[in-house]
């Protein structure tokens, strides 16, 4: 029995060491308040998006929950108002898998909201399918939808500067690739819909997020708008809701033991949105509330510029 107790104690000690040294992230220590500021958070009805929105609401922001499912978003807004004591929480429907919906959201927002101080491109998914416009779902939602949304709102951001665009990328951008010939022929960056293709599509879309941020910063140089991308940490949320049940069951035990909760996963997003003094690092990549280097492809300015030009054509913007 004593040997068993020693084993259990040793295993628990090892778990604590690994969790706190590898998986547990840093916390955003900024004391900035947001009274009088307006923030959009996409995909904010669940997961790290909801956690991010709640913490921003607690700082006094006027908060726009930009979500596909209006019913779930209204429930999230109710929770956020109750927990934060902030009644300035508004739901606006946005389906990033539809260019029509993105245009409609932007048009409504610009007509009804005089300010935009922070845009947080948080929504993301992993799974099969195609967007309303025929693109691979992951590429269409994670990159093209946010690319179009940001550009449609950019003038308002400039009018309200200093302002910020924060895009949630991922460490997996290092495994991403961009094949423009495949994109031209398949309207996607992968050639199939298998579980492996879905994973690769996610990596590719996160590389797009990094390159989008880099090129956006180049185009905004000298303006009052800065932009950042980030790895939020390893988090178990509804990101994988589109993968098979057996894959979710395999992930769950490990996720419960090691992955960050949504509040922990929101900290680097908050850091990029709020931290004073990071403006010289516009276009850069953050993780664990600190500046980090991206993979080699994420530093390729020519690739970033080409992706931007191709994305303009695909979204018919401007």
Q: Residue 19: is its pLDDT beyond 80?
A: no
Q: Calculate Rg over the CA atoms of the chain.
A: 20
CB-facing half-sphere around the CA of 271: CA atoms within 13 A? 26
Residues that are catalytic: 202
What is the helix (H) or strand (E) element at residue 81, kind and residue range?
Answer: helix 70-84
pLDDT digits (tens, 9 = 90+) for 219-234: 999 999 999 999 998 7
- The pairs formed by 288-295 with CB atoms below 8 angstroms and a separation of 24 or more are 288/25, 288/26, 288/231, 288/233, 289/25, 289/26, 289/27, 289/28, 289/29, 290/26, 292/231, 294/173, 294/174, 294/210, 295/173, 295/174, 295/207
Class of domain 31-315: alpha beta
Can you tell me the mean pLDDT for 147-166?
98
Q: Residue 16: is its pLDDT beyond 70?
A: no
Q: Provide the residue ranges of all domains of the chain, joining segments of one domain with +.
A: 31-315
Q: Given this model, what pLDDT does residue 318 score?
A: 84
Q: Residue 210: is its pLDDT beyond 80?
A: yes
pLDDT grade, residue 248 (50/70/90)? low
Q: Given this model, what pLDDT does residue 1 score?
A: 46
pLDDT digits (tens, 9 = 90+) for 282-295: 999 999 999 999 99
pLDDT grade, residue 265 (50/70/90)? confident
The predicted model scores a pTM of 0.87
pLDDT averaged over every residue in the chain: 89
């Amino acid at each position: 029995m004593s040997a068993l107790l020693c084993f259990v104690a040793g295993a628990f000690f090892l778990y604590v060491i690994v969790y706190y040294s590898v998986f547990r992230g840093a916390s955003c220590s900024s004391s900035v308040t947001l009274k009088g500021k307006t923030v959009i958070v996409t995909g904010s009805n669940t997961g790290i998006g909801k956690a991010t929105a709640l913490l921003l609401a607690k700082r006094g922001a006027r908060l726009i929950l930009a979500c596909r499912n209006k019913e779930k978003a209204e429930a999230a807004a109710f929770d956020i108002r109750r927990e934060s004591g902030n009644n300035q929480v508004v739901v606006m429907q946005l389906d990033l898998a539809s260019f029509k919906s993105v245009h409609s959201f932007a048009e409504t927002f610009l007509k009804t909201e005089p300010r935009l101080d922070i845009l947080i491109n948080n929504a993301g998914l992993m799974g099969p399918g195609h967007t309303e416009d025929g693109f691979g779902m992951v590429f269409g939602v994670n990159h093209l939808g946010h690319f179009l949304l940001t550009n449609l709102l950019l003038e308002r951001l400039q009018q309200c500067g200093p302002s910020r665009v924060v895009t949630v990328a991922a460490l997996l951008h290092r495994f991403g690739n961009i094949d423009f010939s495949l994109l031209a022929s398949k309207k996607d960056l992968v050639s199939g819909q298998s579980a492996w293709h879905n994973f690769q599509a996610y990596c590719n879309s996160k590389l797009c997020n990094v390159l989008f941020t880099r090129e956006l910063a180049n185009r905004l140089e000298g303006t009052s708008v800065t932009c950042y991308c980030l790895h939020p940490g390893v988090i178990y949320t509804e990101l994988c809701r589109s993968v098979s049940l057996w894959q979710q069951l395999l992930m769950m035990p490990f996720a419960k033991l090691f992955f960050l909760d949504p509040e922990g996963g929101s900290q680097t997003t908050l850091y990029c949105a709020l931290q004073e003094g990071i403006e010289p690092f516009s276009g850069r990549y953050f993780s664990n509330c600190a500046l980090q280097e991206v993979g080699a492809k994420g530093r390729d300015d020519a690739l970033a510029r080409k992706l931007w030009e191709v994305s303009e054509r695909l979204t018919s913007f401007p």
